[in-house]
Each structure stands twice: as C-alpha cells, then as structure tokens.
Structure 1
C-alpha cells in the first residue's frame, strides 16, 4: 500500500505517547525511524519502530558517562530509547573532538535505534570524520560456516565536504537481521544466500535460519572482527556469545578532527576534490560513478516530493496497533 508520510508521522507520534516517551523527545524519535523508511532501509524504518517501541517504557533514565579518560569515554545509557541515547553519545564525541581532536565513545545498556547513517552524518556536519558501529548477539557466521560467532556488526561513516557529507551505511552481513525478523512475522522468504540453517546450509526459510552470513568471505570476516573489537573489548564490553541481550550490546561513536591544533588544513576541501574525481569516473555503460549514500538520498528526496511511501500492509496494521496502545501483538 501507499501511505502518506503525514499519516505515518501521526501514528508514530500516537505510539510514542502511548509508550510514555517524553513529549520533548517524541518527535525526534519519530523522525529518526521515519528517515530510515524514506531512505529505503525498510528493515530499519517503520517495521523497526514497531518492534522497538515495545521497549520504550523500559527506559530507566537519561544516559550518563561512567568512565572518562581523555579522548575516551564510556556511557551507561540506562536503557534509554535508542535514538535519544545515540544523540547523547554523538554530542559527547563531538565535544571531545572539539577539545582534544578525537572523541572515542563506547555506549552500552541502550535500546536499539534504526539506521546508523544519521549519527555519523551528525558528526560530519561539525567538520569531523564520523564513524559509528555496533555489535549484536552472536548472529552471524562466515562463508561455509554453521556456528554464529560474530555480531552482525553494521558500520556507518560520514566524510565532511564543502557540500553535504558523503555517508555510507552498511551491514557486514549480506542482509541485516531485520530482514529475518520481518520474514518471520510475514511468512515471506528470505533473500537467497544470505542466511544459513543450523547445519550451515543456505536457506530461504526464515524459521529454519539460524545465522546471517558475513559478506566477502574471509575479507568480510576480517572487517567484522575489527568492528567486534571496536564495539567490544576496546571498552570491556561483551563480545560474541557473551552478548546476552539488548542491554549488553556495545555501540561505538568516533569523531576525528584532523585540523586539531592547526596541524592539518583543507580536510573538507580535499574530500570534495576526491569526491568530484569519483563522480567524474564512469562505468563501462558510460554512467557516472555513484558515491555511497547517493541512492538512499535520492529515494528520500523522491518520497518527500510525492509525500508518500510504499509500505507493507502488515507493517501498517502493526503501526496502527502501536498507535492504539497495543504493544503486545506482532
């Protein structure tokens, strides 16, 4: 079905009210998940909002810094709603980058959020290189593997330019776990080759799937391993099978300022020149090269221009239930 953006925004706002989200934060939470939907990241948009809103009443308070040493800090989010805790972590990272040239922030005990791109982009808008990542329970395995040992370990980075930041947002698995969760709800098939069963065999059956598959075979494993360390042992957070729940999942926010102390100048200018060089390159079909995040932005611009978005009927019904105060049905 096609739903108007305005109607989705209203229903999400009603759901936030029903879940006792603070009035001054509700619109911010709504716009975060709505942005995921508009950018075409449907597993991290309205469907993710419907899933995560069940946990909104479990917030215990505002996030707080529990360890602070130079450029590094650790935040106990106190089970805060994901977009609210992420915004807090970004502010801490940016503040440290302004003072020290780098902000390296670990966060734990938070509810989940949707897309990562918004947070790396917020950092880049201050002129800093922004990198955001998180882990999960052990839900991913490598090519030809059968045992889930890694988190799904998504990564986003944003590069400041003289115009809008260049933003990448990617999973290190062939498909995000949100695809599996939604397929289990709807009964639809999984994308081929992205998930395996308990024997390590590829499956498109969402009820047989036990692990997402890391992209790029062992090169993907290497990258996912790095992200696991950066969201785990770097801050003494659990990793792999030791991640038991949402509350023991690690999140990392990096803000890096190469111009600190006047040692390096022209960071956004150099990035702009390089981005222009990439855009001027062409594919074998003669089309211009596409930068990371470009397609997502175009989808969002189109949705905003039409005022509507395509939405699965079941997701819309679930959103209506949340707006009516029903957080149990799924």
Structure 2
C-alpha cells in the first residue's frame, strides 16, 4: 500500500503519496491508449512526461501530462514536411501529440545535419510537450550539437512593462561528450506558465516575484496574475526576443498576438554537425575536457560547480533506482481518472 506524506502549502495541507514509478508509467500508458495513441507511441509519451517529473520539473511532468492528455484524441498525425530547401524545413505537426511530433522534427534535423552540416526545422500545428531537454539530448546523443525552443501565446512581459507581448520562449541546448550528453533546459521567464495553471487549479499561491498583475506589480495571487516576468531584465529580454524570431518569422509562423492557440505556436529544432568544421570527432574530447575542468573548479562554499541539468539527472537516476516517487494525492487521482477514460474532469 502506498504511504502517505503530508506536505504543507497552499490553502490546505496537501497530501503526497509515495507511489511506484511503474504504477505511474502504467497509468499514463493506459491513458494514452484510451485516447487513441498507438501502443508504441503511448509508451514514448508516458516516458517523456515521467522523465520530467523525475528530473524535478513537476510543471512539465505528470501534471502537464494530465492537462495535455485531454487533447490527445485531436491528433491527426503523423507530421508531414510542408516545405524543405537546403538545410531548412517547415513541418506541419498535424496536431500530433507533442513528444511524438518533436521526435519527428529531431530525426529530420539530425538527418539534414548529417548531410549538410546543419539542420534547422520549424514546426507548427502540434500539441505541446514537457521538458525540452528530452529533444536537445536526442540530438546530442547522435554526436551533434542540439538546440530546441518554442514560443507560446503572448504571456510574458519584461522589467518595467506590464503588458504581455512575448511568449514564455523556453530554450534547451545539448552537446555531446565522451560520457554522454550535457544539457541545459530553461524558460526565459522566471517561472513557466505551468506553475500558473496549476496554481489556478489548486488555489496555491504563486512563487514570489515571478508573475505580475495588470498594473505590472508582482503578485502571488494566481487569479490576479496577467503575465510571467522574463528573467535578467534587458539581457533576458534580448534572449527571449531572439527566440521569438527563431520560432516565428523565420518560418513564417505567427508571433505575439498572432499566436492565438496551441496550433499557431511555433517550435524550433536545430542540429549542428561539428564534423563539418574539419576536426572529425575531436569535439568529443574537447567537450569532455571542458566538463572535467568545470568539475575541478571549486565552489565558493566547498564542493564543485554544478553543471546545468546535472542535479535533475542525478535525482532522476536515484528515483529510478528506488522505483518510487512522491506525488500529490489529488494529482494521482486525476491521473487514475485519465487512465479510466475520463478526459474531461479536472
């Protein structure tokens, strides 16, 4: 029997369950199959969102699976290439489930990079997925450098403003080493929109200084929040602006207020083959040396400098070894409802 762990937070005391990872995986897979996803794809989708949960990104884990699964039946897939010229391609996702359409884009970008040195794929008309690192790492595991990004509705604003005009514009990159891929995965806002969605559903307060109200003042009230705040003042603004163009006008996709639904959201996948720079496989040794040098760097308070993504991967490895994870009881019941075929209640 699953043990119960009380956790304080929000308007009520939340209850977290110690649940078997295999149980969660089975419920997610069953929900996918009930939504009409073929069995092979169902396992892939379940593993994608489970990985986000295990890496301690709950806004992109089981909670996002439960939310996104209500749209799985709308898939028309598989995706199709709408336009291709040189190193660039535009893909119509055909409303495919996000992890599956992203896998298609990754394969296309990597295949093109092997042929031309670079592959740049823009995709639109697809469902959302969870963590971006899942896809930048796939590119890096092929010995390539990968970059993945996407936009959203205009849900973000910048320091000194109050009107949302940018997407939350997350970005992930990964590069290969002799010991596997190293990756970073981040939103260009101080908190992802998934945090706001779950806070509105549960009534929990927002993290401080991450969302602003209609007057541009920070708020922890999910009902008063109108925009996510971009990190880093003008430096974060500049990065988010770049991602907006790369996921928008570069491919003729909508930007700003033109992004009015999931289906008009732009996605970007870039693969770069270092072999085309004339050094063969030398980049693997160089990247490995860089990572080792970082590992030897001393942190101010002892220990070593932590690489991006390192802590999440380590946590996932520990959780997979124990076979258990802590999950909010209400979320667990929502997942069980999805597995039973209920895609409407929340």
TM-score, length-scaled by structure 1: 0.98
1:256-271 to structure 2, matched below 5 A, reads 256-260=272-276, 262=278, 265-271=281-287
1:34-113 to structure 2, matched below 5 A, reads 34-113=50-129
1:296 and 2:298 are equivalent in the alignment: no
1 CA distance for matches of 2:85 and 2:196? 39
Q: Secondary structure at the match of 2:274?
A: coil
Q: Residue 245 of structure 1: which of 261, 277, 284 is its match?
A: 261
User: Which whole-Å deviations, capped at 9, do the CAs of 1:213-233 have from their partners, x for residues lacking one?
Assistant: 000011100000001011011
Q: Secondary structure at the match of 1:83?
A: helix
2 CA distance for matches of 1:329 and 1:201? 33
User: Which whole-Å deviations, capped at 9, do the CAs of 1:25-57 have from their partners, x for residues lacking one?
Assistant: 110111011100111110000000001000000
Give 1:129's aligned residue: 145
1:125-204 to structure 2, matched below 5 A, reads 125-204=141-220
Do 1:195 and 1:211's aligned partners in 2 also have CA atoms closer than 8 Å?
A: yes
- Structure 1: runs of 5+ lacking an equivalent: none
2 CA distance for matches of 1:253 and 1:290? 26
Following superposition, which runs of at least 4 residues in structure 1 exceed 3 angstroms of deviation? Answer: 261-265
Moved more, 130-139 or 259-268: 259-268
2 CA distance for matches of 1:269 and 1:324? 50
- Structure 2: runs of 5+ lacking an equivalent: 1-16
2 CA distance for matches of 1:77 and 1:217? 34
C-alpha displacement at 1:23, in angstroms? 1.7
2 CA distance for matches of 1:46 and 1:261? 41
Do 1:186 and 1:314's aligned partners in 2 also have CA atoms closer than 8 Å?
A: no
Give 1:274's aligned residue: 290
C-alpha displacement at 1:163, in angstroms? 0.8
Give 2:7's aligned residue: none
* Aligned positions, number: 330
Q: Secondary structure at the match of 1:40?
A: coil
C-alpha displacement at 1:145, in angstroms? 1.7
